[in-house]
Structure 1
Amino acid sequence: MTRQYSPHEPLLSFISPTTQKKVKQNSIFFNMEQDLQSIVGLPIMGGVEIDSNTLSYWLNWRVGLCALWLMIAWVVASILIWKYEGSKKSKPESRQNQQKDTVGCLYEDEAWITCLKQIHPFWLLAYRSIAFLLLLTLLIINVVLDGAGIFYFYTQWTFTLVTIYFGFATAFSIYGLYICQRTVGDHGHGPAYPSLDAERGGYVPASVKETADTPEISNGFNTHEAPHFRKTAGFWGYLFQILFQASAGAVVLTDCVFWLILYPLSGPTLNFMIVSFHSLNFVFLLGDTILNGMRFPMFRIAYFALWTLIYVIFQWIIHAVASMWWPYVIIDLSNQYAPLWYLLVGVTSVPCYSLFALLFKLKSCCLSRFFPESSYQGST
């Protein structure tokens, strides 16, 4: 069952008039859909909307195959999380063996330490604070100007996720500096974590003598040093790491799709907000990646997959309830190539996520090449 409508007709009641006007003016997503359909040979719908809230729309082989892809991705992601997440310590072990890192092990101080001992955590805090304030400001401006309807699109989901990450990151960095200062006050001799040398202006670790009476805590992951004992992360620490790695994959996917597919094909008029929402998130995450001392295990691609799956399921639920346009042609279930699009997006997600994993490897190589082994820490 179909009905005629204008390609720019607003079909969501929660999209504000301002957003509707901008959609009519820029037509980024609608033009992209028509251009993609023309290039790959899909039939252009010509202003005809197929009712998505009918049984005939959902009970067909295309939807069934797409649902199968989603189920497989969800199961694989769940298995990866179940198998690798956490320290997986099932019984008491010796104190030394307890410090052996597993792929899913996470330490509390990884959230705020820097990759080099010469870089004080304060600079990471400053960077994260600036990034959070700028991203939050842009998001608020976007909501004020365009309304809550912006969250119909994956771009805004991703941008919001990155903003939340930097909010958590700022809070963890503040907590880390508090821990450093508290350690100084408790032990009197000096901090168990590195401190800022007032005379040299550098980031100087406390000496062994200074920390002789303090708990054995290390900032680094240097396996060639004598074993140190660090506090494993709690719920919020793991949530923070998950936010970081899910954001990394989502940002690369979003920006690559826009700059490599949408913009070349549809040629939308660029403005400050469009460029910001498709570049700043990646730039800020890249800077944080360079500075932080976090790790980036590949198995946490599962959280990136779940994030994308949740967005797709969100779209399915909306379209099952009300008939409306799809924000992206690649998730539109009405065309015969929908299963191929879904499979392509799933396959493309792997290299998108792997880009940040490669950046971490590159950072580790650069640190080990240009700095002494005793200087770098964290993800290296």
Structure 2
Amino acid sequence: MAFSSSPSLLPPSSYTELKDAWHPSTTANTTESSYWFNWRVMICCIWMAIAMVITAFLMFKYEGFRRKRSGDGGDGGEKEWSGNVYEDETWRPCLRNIHPAWLLAFRVVAFFVLLIMLIVIGLVDGPTIFFYYTQWTFALITLYFGLGSLLSLHGCYQYNKRAAGDRVDSIEAIAIDSERARSKGSDHHTLQQSQYSSNPAGFWGYVFQIIFQMNAGAVLLTDCVFWFIIVPFLEIHDYSLNVLVINMHSLNAIFLLGDAALNSLSFPCFRIAYFFFWTIAYVIFQWTLHSVVHIWWPYPFLDLSSHYAPLWYFSVAVMHLPCYGAFALLVKLKHRVLQRWFPESYQSPR
């Protein structure tokens, strides 16, 4: 989260006060060995190691496409593997009545708006702005909408091609799948899903799904900390925020929630591992940078010279759970509501 503001957007006196108040300051010399070889760093390394082990375990155990597995019950049914991602899920809207072109248009608009904001922020505040976790996440969500635009463009081509003709094979496949579904006692919801391609997503489809779930937690984490902790503190001290800072901590969540409301992507909980991985990568980057360069910490709680550093690191790790869980609940609520209100048009993840 960056707090530096542009002189062109704030009165000179207000800008000076805000910059002086929030400009990060250096504490101990981070290039000295005594800074790193102590009990505080050791405990923080233990937190990091535990998080990395859990992250690696979840990734290797659940990620990747696998064929349907037998259910635990005695009905002989099959359950979808949680790590599966299908090709059409990356571009298909959640309602059949919504043309994929609408999702494409939304993603294109979001991409260019976020890209322009990212460029402007970089020009106004300089390259050091990318020392902050917020800018990392902002760049990641911009990448998400850029990749999503390309996948939606490809999906629209496939959709129009399918609508124009060559439906003989697909109709036969639908009939076969429908008959199998009836023989297994499946409901209308299962019959709807059989009408779509069962081809697994390629490399970029999986990358897109992973970035989506990484952004889900990271955007909520940065925006919640900003609006519920930092802004009230600024109000108490009569500091004003410029338009760039406000938009940066609002448009990212608005666009991501809008895309989540429209898309058909699943949201398996095990991919919280990538959210942790994203934060771990940022912390490792900061540690590596500070070990060779004596520079300010972008966030005070990252400073390992504080006796409360282990508590701060542990607290930030715990905050990942409610942020990711809140987004997962929103996605689940969306599917429940759409399935109840639009049963004939609803297209859920498999």
| Structure 2 length-normalised TM | 0.84
Task: Work out whether 1:254 is the aligned partner of 2:222.
Answer: yes
Deviates more, 1:221-230 or 1:266-275: 221-230
Q: How far apart are 1:376 and its partner, in Å?
A: 0.6
Structure 2 contact 110–255 (Cα < 8 Å) conserved: yes
**Aligned residue type for 1:223:** T
Aligned CA distance change for structure 1 residues 98 and 235 (closer, same or farther; 3 Å): farther
Q: How far apart are 1:143 and its partner, in Å?
A: 1.3
State the partner residue of 2:181: none
Task: Work out whether 1:223 is the aligned partner of 2:190.
Answer: yes
State the partner residue of 2:205: 237
Aligned length in residues: 323
Q: How does 1:90-239 map to 2 (within 5 A)?
A: 100-185=79-164, 187=166, 211-212=171-172, 222-223=189-190, 227=194, 230-239=198-207
Runs of 4 or more off by more than 6 Å in structure 1?
213-218
1:163-216 CA distances to partner (integer Å, 9 max, x unpaired)? 000001111110001112233455177x96xxxxxxxxxxxxxxxxxx348998
1-side partners of 2:175 and 2:277: how far apart? 38
1-side partners of 2:55 and 2:154: how far apart? 31
State the partner residue of 2:284: 313
2-side partners of 1:29 and 1:98: how far apart? 62
Q: How does 1:42-81 map to 2 (within 5 A)?
A: 49-81=27-59
Aligned CA distance change for structure 1 residues 216 and 258 (closer, same or farther; 3 Å): farther
1:18-76 CA distances to partner (integer Å, 9 max, x unpaired)? 9xx99855238737x8xxxxxxxxxxxxx773101100000000001001101110110
Q: How far apart are 1:226 and its partner, in Å?
A: 7.9
| Bigger helix fraction | 2
1-side partners of 2:315 and 2:128: how far apart? 27
1-side partners of 2:54 and 2:190: how far apart? 31
State the partner residue of 2:73: none
State the partner residue of 2:182: none
Structure 2 contact 234–240 (Cα < 8 Å) conserved: no
Instruction: Report sequence identity in percent.
Output: 46
Deviates more, 1:97-106 or 1:150-159: 97-106
1:97-122 CA distances to partner (integer Å, 9 max, x unpaired)? 99852011110100000111111111
Aligned CA distance change for structure 1 residues 261 and 303 (closer, same or farther; 3 Å): same
Q: How far apart are 1:353 and its partner, in Å?
A: 0.6
Equivalent residue for 1:334, pick from 305, 320, 331: 305
Unaligned segments of structure 2, at least 5 residues: 70-75, 179-187
Structure 1 contact 85–104 (Cα < 8 Å) conserved: yes
Aligned CA distance change for structure 1 residues 57 and 312 (closer, same or farther; 3 Å): same
Unaligned segments of structure 1, at least 5 residues: 1-9, 11-15, 34-46, 92-96, 193-210
Structure 1 contact 28–266 (Cα < 8 Å) conserved: no
**Aligned residue type for 1:49:** T
Aligned CA distance change for structure 1 residues 114 and 51 (closer, same or farther; 3 Å): same
Greater RCO (CA < 8 Å, at least 6 residues apart) = 2
Q: How far apart are 1:361 and its partner, in Å?
A: 1.1
State the partner residue of 1:288: 259
Structure 1 contact 114–378 (Cα < 8 Å) conserved: no
Structure 1 contact 187–214 (Cα < 8 Å) conserved: no
Q: How far apart are 1:81 and its partner, in Å?
A: 0.7
2-side partners of 1:26 and 1:76: how far apart? 40
Q: What secondary structure is seen at the aligned counterpart in 1 of 2:190?
A: coil
| Structure 1 length-normalised TM | 0.77
2-side partners of 1:176 and 1:361: how far apart? 24
Aligned CA distance change for structure 1 residues 338 and 137 (closer, same or farther; 3 Å): same
